[in-house]
Amino acid sequence: MSDQAFYSSLQQKLATLEDEGLFKPERVLASRQGAEVVAQDGRTLINMCANNYLGLSGDVETQEAAAAALEKYGYGLSSVRFICGTQTVHKELEQALSNFLGTEDTILYAAAFDANGGVFEPLFDENDAIISDALNHASIIDGVRLCKAARYRYANNDMADLEKQLIAALDAGKRHKIIVTDGVFSMDGTIAQLDKIVALAEKYGALTMIDESHASGFMGATGRGTHEHCGVIGKIDIITGTLGKALGGAMGGFTSGKKEVIETLRQKSRPYLFSNTLAPMIAGASLAVLERISKSTELRDRLHENTAYFRQEIERIGFTIKPGTHPVVPVMLFEAPVAQKFAARMFELGVLLSGFFYPVVPMGQARVRVQLSAAHTREQLDTVLKAFEQAGKELGIIKN
């Protein structure tokens, strides 16, 4: 406590964040997660900014599955997996995820952040090349940094640039090359062109990896993910993803792929070796979620119906959106102050939304990001659309 300058420099940096409008306050909810949430002040809001795509976060069936696992396996294990932290429920969940994703084996982590953080260093070294999309998630960027492989970056979703980088890695004489991309990019709802990526990987003898955090459970005809959506099931080498979004929403992550890849990670991946096992109630609930969505596509179908309806109606009212089919719907407001004012007005009108502006998105591309859920009713979506119309007219974004 003898270095006061340290604390004053932090205070200054925090004040600068506030001045620049980059400080992130936390919204406090007084209820469970869902299509409607209760704010701390007691107001009920329609929630349009959770990654709760299938509506399972506050869902009673999910909760009951967690409670059953809690009852059977207890609260926690006080151990990493390889000492005494592996229960039957962890092995069952890994098997179920492999079946669901169409892979050979799966390893669980406490978070997808850890899955991505611990996937590169055990598998690749300075003789290899990682070719990564410029907009990949922070956890992929950090994971790549922890690895000695040469780094190549291609412009977001740009297949010509990807090919250029593959050629550069080939010319540099790199041994193994892996193309890494988010399956879906969460700021724009852009879906990676996995069919083209797989074709390029085949042409240049490269491996492929996708992060399915915004896809597992609802993209593709049966919700298996972006690889199903793009018709390349069985052609992706490594799949990472989260249990903390569509697949239940608590926490947890995974890496899935060929047996020898997963076994290497079990032996060498540091966030797996040196961090506690996933709580058994989360493993049990995730297992129940996978069983539920493997039996019926009802939730996935409802999510896509809600998405199609919202995308159609919001454009009809006169707003500009990024075109697409994903339940992430960026409603473009372009200027940062407009996006801020708009989100604040929507909050007053009872709709929870988040605004994004530079540097999170490019300058002049400010927006509010709507995320649809299977839990939203048509009535709730109509209320939200009415609020959009009202706020849009008040702020002169759409015509009267």
Ligand X SMILES: *Cc1c(COP(=O)(O)O)cnc(C)c1O
What residue ranges bind ligand X (CB under 6 A)?
111-113, 116, 137, 139, 182, 186, 211, 213-214, 242, 244, 253
Q: Which residue, 255 or 306, is less far from ligand X as judged by CB?
A: 255
Q: Which residue, 178 or 387, is less far from ligand X as judged by CB?
A: 178
- Cα 344 versus chain centre, distance: 25
Identify the sign of the CA torsion 91, 95, 96, 97.
positive
Q: Which amino acid is at 340?
A: Q
Identify the sign of the CA torsion 385, 390, 396, 399.
positive
Q: Is 72 a catalytic residue?
A: no
Q: Which residue, 58 or 118, is less far from ligand X as judged by CB?
A: 118
Q: Which two tokens stand for residue 185?
A: 């990019």
Annotated binding site: 137, 186, 211-214, 242-245, 275-276, 369
174, 214, 304, 376: which one is catalytic?
A: 214
Work out how close the CB of 219 gets to ligand X at its nearest, in angstroms, rounded to a whole number. 13
Taking CB atoms within 8 Å and a gap of at least 24, the contacts of 91-94 are: 92/283, 92/287, 93/283, 93/286, 93/287, 93/290, 94/254
Work out how close the CB of 300 gets to ligand X at its nearest, in angstroms, rounded to a whole number. 18
Annotated binding site for substrate: 137, 369
Q: Which residue, 59 or 182, is less far from ligand X as judged by CB?
A: 182
174, 229, 245, 304: which one is catalytic?
A: 245
Are 154 and 166 in contact by the 8 Å Cβ rule? The answer is no
Q: Which residue, 211 or 228, is less far from ligand X as judged by CB?
A: 211
Instruction: Count CA atoms within 13 Å of residue 307 on its CB side.
Output: 25
Work out how close the CB of 242 gets to ligand X at its nearest, in angstroms, rounded to a whole number. 3
Q: What residues does 109 pair with on adjacent strands?
A: 253
Q: Is 148 a catalytic residue?
A: no
98, 139, 186, 373: which one is catalytic?
A: 186
CA 367 – CA 96 distance, rounded (Å): 38
Are 289 and 62 in contact by the 8 Å Cβ rule? The answer is yes
Q: Is 79 a catalytic residue?
A: no
Q: What residues does 180 pair with on adjacent strands?
A: 132, 209
Q: Which two tokens stand for residue 227?
A: 């690889």
Are 251 and 109 in contact by the 8 Å Cβ rule? The answer is no
Q: Which residue, 139 or 165, is less far from ligand X as judged by CB?
A: 139
Work out how close the CB of 364 gets to ligand X at its nearest, in angstroms, rounded to a whole number. 24
Annotated binding site for pyridoxal 5'-phosphate: 186, 211-214, 242-245, 275-276
CA 331 – CA 317 distance, rounded (Å): 12
Task: Look up residue 38 and give its DSSP letter.
Answer: E
Omega cis (within 30) before 337:
no
Work out how close the CB of 51 gets to ligand X at its nearest, in angstroms, rounded to a whole number. 7
Work out how close the CB of 184 gets to ligand X at its nearest, in angstroms, rounded to a whole number. 8
Active site residues: 186, 214, 245
